[in-house]
Chain A
Amino acid sequence: MNITLTINSKAYEADFSPNETLLKTLRKLGFHGVKFGDEAGLSGADTVLLDGKPINAGSMLTAQAEGHKIVTIEGLGEHPEQGWKKTDGLHALQQAFIETGAVQCGYCTPGQVLASQTLLEQNPNPSEDEVREAISGVLCRCTGYVKPVQAVLRAAAQLRGEGFDPIGGAGLFDWPVENPSTPLGGEPLSNSPSIATQVAPKIIVAPETKKWKTVGKPEIKVDAIKLVQGKPAFAADIEKRGMLIAKVLHSPHAHARIKNIDTSKAKAIPGVVAVLTWKDIPRVVYSTAGQSDPIPGPLDTFSLDNKVRFVGDRVAFVAAETVEIADMALSKIEVEYEALSAILDSEDAMKPDAIQIHDEPEYVNFADSDPSRNLAAEIRIDIGDVEKGFAEADRIFEGDYVVPKVQQAHIEPHVCVTYWDEDDRLVMRTSTQVPFHVRRMLAPVLDLPVKRIRVIKPRIGGGFGGKQEVLMEDVPAHLTIATGRPVIYEYTREEEFIAARSRHPMKVHMKTGVKKDGTITANEMVVLADTGANGAHALTVTGNTGHKSMALYVGDGKYRKSPNIRFYADVVYTNTPPSGAFRGYGVPQGFWPLDRHLEKITREMGFDPIEFRLKNAIRPGEYHPFSKAWNEGREPRPEIVHTVGLEQCVQQAKAAIGWDQKFNNEDWRNGPTPADNGQGPELGKASSAVQRPSPLRKGIGLATVMQGTAIPYLDMGGASIKMNDDGSFNLLVGATDLGTGSDTVLAQMAAEVLGVPLEDLICYSSDTDFTPFDKGAYASSTTYISGTAVVHAAEKVADRIKVRAAKMLGDIDSQEIELRDRKAYGPDGKFITLSEVAMDSLHRNDQEQIMAVASYVSPVSPPPFGAQFAEVTVDIETGQVTVDHLVMAVDSGVIINPLTASGQIEGGMTQALGYAVCEEMRYNEKGEALERDLDRYHIFRADEMPELTTIFVETFEPSHPFGVKAVAEIPMDGVAPAVGNAVRDAIGIDIDEIPITPEKVWQALKQGL
């Protein structure tokens, strides 16, 4: 069919098939700002404006768009600097999005901006609630929506011609801080009458940071301008002539042997170019866990196998000219299965008569894995003498807890484009957190040497651990090898649910010994973890469940020196989709049981919940208790924890949420009666004649948490810096910005060392051909490890600049040169500009390329700490738990960029909130997933969010040049237990299993009554 579409006020001839969606046609025409998030219009990533109204381009046929005016993100603003051509620059909304830090991965940004534009055209002065509703159809998994909402309010103010605050400055406080007592929650951090911009968090600033010009400042993300314009920056935003579509036939059985596959009918379909089964490709056993060598887990995976181990497992690959032909080919592949009995419950996995899920002879064990018992990993950690500790306790508390399987649900699905380049090297342009691991790990699988593979990591639309997996790049790679043609493989949203990774579900038994004075004498956690059908990350995720949660409480008094801690875990195979890495990496699974258990102890024993936790928590100068006992299957290396800002975090967060006013306050708990509560339940109004007590109960709770920062003695980061003629620098990093802002914070550190503004750093990540090796984005390590590598490279470059500048200024000692404001200053105040140094070095005298490379491995993993508080309302008639306010105060060391760092906390708390109250992946008796889309699997929308407050308490971590610790994962840890504790506070009932759904609360209430 041929029609004319009006896009961004221009007419385009479109040639398309009758069943083609507007999304596909727009992308074919080069409008790559329209994104694929799911098939059903639930993610909103495919939002465009049709006659001024937001619609989902993915659920509209192109033919329906004829005669309508379409606006895409490309129709808004443009880059302000385009050489001699004058432009109007970015749209006010785009400008506000980049200034407020509302762009994290940027995948949902075009949709959010367009939906907001419609709102502002209809309503130039919207309330926050109206903004939240307007963008509620565009899901974001990164931000927690705080900054996008503020961006829209800010743009609205600007478009109305009103003033608004500069970002930053507000909310910076000095150490030492007296204990604050007034609640800060809801109080604007600004005096502006028109708009209170709450995007910059409150920060208690470490004194060492005062002199810095770029580090610590809310700089605009270096990739934000392209993302806010919807530039073709993501893996799928590439056109290749003759590119084939890859599709995978997924198993309908939870456990079966493939007796026969007949692909002849599929291959006979015109437009089908290749069909591959296990018979067609080499049988190479590997692990999909994106980790440094040697991978600390069993090798138990094949690209294609003659056995399927879960519903969704791979059976065959197809490459075809179109999606429709590929889908038809899948339906024509005839497979004869021999169904086997399936293990769906982790408790059944190690029963004596259980069927063996991994019986392949190629299986390679790691540590204590034992496939004959369906055991992917076994962990036995004993610190001190736990039995003696229990004997010394006044009371022993035991309890059982359950945590569910949940999905990373990044809005950009897994996607990879592969092709042979002109040197016949295989290029993979992929949405990955671990480009260097992809190259190394897939080389043997594809029978190619590492040097014949190039992995390009463009911008990534969120990963959260889901892309720390070498999950699917092998599929298009095999098909490119088979066909010689470029191939794109883009996961559908359903595939994300049935054939991607997820958080390990666990069943946890806690046993804790306590003295009457509140001293913990011994603490034990016993875990049964479900790794699903493959053992990727089985040992390391589950190990961290204990390593990073149980380490927080060492006990008090003599126990501080010699804590008694036991952590045992069995990680078992089941016939469910494999678990894997998900932000927090096992630690959220530990803090739900641990902190809920401690809360029960405080209630039972009558302790103050804050005092009890702090009394037993680790303090500066003490050994990380697990560092002497366990190191992800390698030799343990004892490590002292130097910086612990936990107590100050608790004080700050407690004040922000108004703990002293609310805790143990019956009036507050029972709240206003429906009669005088305009926002109360409707039933109160309906029967206003009958005064009845409100069914709503308020509750408040906290959890204290710790995480880790990178993996010591193993994971390496690398960076190179090159000076250009104008005194700017190329910063090439292997570190993998997946929306976190790591390119920005790495460039900020380099800029600080080199004495230039951030805009003089051109940061690029990552490409295995050009950038130095870096382990990738995981284990909360980029700012710390890759950051140190960047600083070392920048110092080497700075040293060369100083040597040359000293000579140019007339034989000064180069040690006395200071780099600042794009200049090299001598001690007498004389200076020379960096561009003059660069021109001299490149063109004039004794020429050299000023350039340096550095890499870094850390000997330590200094933990960040956090205090997570939650305020909830529980409806005792329905069991509904509404979280009203989440406050997190975090000691992440020094904060390099307040906007990106608080974005991590807000987004992390939001994912953790889903873990607490609504997210869960469940399976029926056949092992079929019940949740297969973003409807059944609910992630929080902008209009459902509680208030989020982030506070940073800076400590200066001595092992890093800028004093940083990790920030990315810790916000996953505390929300669920804090909410669980708040529910207990509200209604006196303990829920031991997340998510805390209305059904669970209602049933517990019924049993309690």
Chain B
Amino acid sequence: MIKTYSISTTINEKEYKSEVESRLLLSDFLRHELGLTGTHVGCEHGVCGACTILVNGESMRSCLMFAVQADGLEITTVEALGKDKDDLHPLQQSFWEAHGLQCGFCTPGILMTLIPFLRENPDPTEKEIRAAISGNLCRCTGYQHIVDAVLLAAEKMK
């Protein structure tokens, strides 16, 4: 039998007590154990940014963390942002309105990168936005509409 560890985490404001194997990635824990499939896995070595989540409010690659490392931490995933299409986060609403997504696979990671970014920098320049999302690869959009969406969101959130 593989040894398991007890961890307690707060995920999207809900407390979880779980038994996890030592090598279980946090991204796999979220997706497979908890069913939070909004966190996507694109490369499994921290390059694409699709798995970005918030750990204690800061952006983090969930594929570069083990679940055991999350013990005692507070985690936020894209599922916490908006409940349904009538109740979207302004950032999500802006992505919708400004066509900030095409296939949508990288979108949750980009959103979770931008949440702390806009908190720190509520009035960013285009250049600052591009720097902020430089760790999130997108193969569809060419990034232009993503940048537009973030500018719109910053406007909305003022």
Residues of A in contact with B (beta carbons under 8 Å apart)? 241-242, 420, 423-424, 484
Contact = CB atoms under 8 A, between A and B. Distances in A.
B85 A242 contact: no
A96 to B, nearest CB: 43
A13 to B, nearest CB: 12
Contact of A242 (B35, B83, B84): B35
Contacts of B85: 423-424
5 contacts: A241-B35, A420-B84, A423-B85, A424-B85, A484-B83
A717 B56 CA distance: 57
A418 to B, nearest CB: 15
Contacts of B83: 484
A424 B83 CA distance: 9
Nearest to A484: B83
Contacts of A423: 85
B35 A424 contact: no
Contacts of B35: 241-242
A241 B83 CA distance: 17
A424 B85 CA distance: 7
> Which 3 pairs of residues, A with B, have the shortest CB-CB distance?
A424-B84, A241-B35, A424-B85
A518 B83 CA distance: 75
Give the interface SS of chain A, mostly helix, strand, loop or mixed: loop
B83 to A, nearest CB: 7
A484 B85 CA distance: 13
A484 B83 CA distance: 9
Nearest to B85: A424
A411 B83 CA distance: 39
B28 to A, nearest CB: 15
Contacts of A242: 35
B4 to A, nearest CB: 15
B80 to A, nearest CB: 13
A423 B84 CA distance: 8
A242 B85 CA distance: 21
A424 B84 CA distance: 6
A423 B96 CA distance: 13
Contacts of B84: 420, 424
A545 B31 CA distance: 58
A423 B35 CA distance: 17
Nearest to B35: A241
A242 B36 CA distance: 12
Interface string B79-114: 000011100000000000000000000000000000
Nearest to B38: A422
Contacts of A420: 84
Interface in B28-81: 35
Contacts of A241: 35
A486 to B, nearest CB: 11
B1 to A, nearest CB: 12
Interface string B115-155: 00000000000000000000000000000000000000000
Nearest to B87: A424
Contacts of A484: 83
A139 B105 CA distance: 50
A242 B35 CA distance: 9
A242 B79 CA distance: 15
B34 to A, nearest CB: 9
A614 B45 CA distance: 85
Nearest to B86: A424
A241 B85 CA distance: 21
A524 B45 CA distance: 85
A404 B5 CA distance: 64
Nearest to A242: B35
A424 B35 CA distance: 17
A227 B85 CA distance: 39
A420 B84 CA distance: 10
A276 to B, nearest CB: 19
A667 B84 CA distance: 79
B51 to A, nearest CB: 19
Q: Which of A420, A423, A424 has the most CB of B within 10 A?
A: A424
B90 to A, nearest CB: 18
A274 to B, nearest CB: 16
B142 to A, nearest CB: 26
A420 B85 CA distance: 12
A305 to B, nearest CB: 29
A266 to B, nearest CB: 22
A424 B87 CA distance: 11
A980 to B, nearest CB: 59
A424 B92 CA distance: 15
A424 B88 CA distance: 12
A480 to B, nearest CB: 12
A836 to B, nearest CB: 36
Nearest to B34: A241
A25 to B, nearest CB: 22
B148 to A, nearest CB: 24
A482 to B, nearest CB: 13
A838 B58 CA distance: 56
A238 to B, nearest CB: 15
A484 B84 CA distance: 10
A633 to B, nearest CB: 40
B77 to A, nearest CB: 15
B35 to A, nearest CB: 5
Nearest to A423: B85
Nearest to A424: B84
Nearest to A240: B35
A420 B83 CA distance: 11
A50 to B, nearest CB: 30
A344 B85 CA distance: 49
A484 B82 CA distance: 13
A82 B58 CA distance: 50
A484 B87 CA distance: 14
B144 to A, nearest CB: 26
A241 B31 CA distance: 12
A323 to B, nearest CB: 21
B82 to A, nearest CB: 10
B36 to A, nearest CB: 10
Contacts of A424: 84-85
A207 B142 CA distance: 69
Nearest to B83: A484
A454 to B, nearest CB: 16
A420 B79 CA distance: 14
A242 B14 CA distance: 15
A993 B13 CA distance: 65
A289 B35 CA distance: 38
A701 B83 CA distance: 67
B17 to A, nearest CB: 14
A446 to B, nearest CB: 15
B89 to A, nearest CB: 15
A936 B146 CA distance: 67
A423 B104 CA distance: 14
A242 B84 CA distance: 18
B12 to A, nearest CB: 13
A426 to B, nearest CB: 11
A423 B86 CA distance: 11
A302 B83 CA distance: 29
A622 to B, nearest CB: 60
A83 to B, nearest CB: 29
Nearest to A420: B84
Nearest to B84: A424
A241 B37 CA distance: 12
A15 to B, nearest CB: 13
A12 B35 CA distance: 23
B111 to A, nearest CB: 16
A420 B35 CA distance: 15
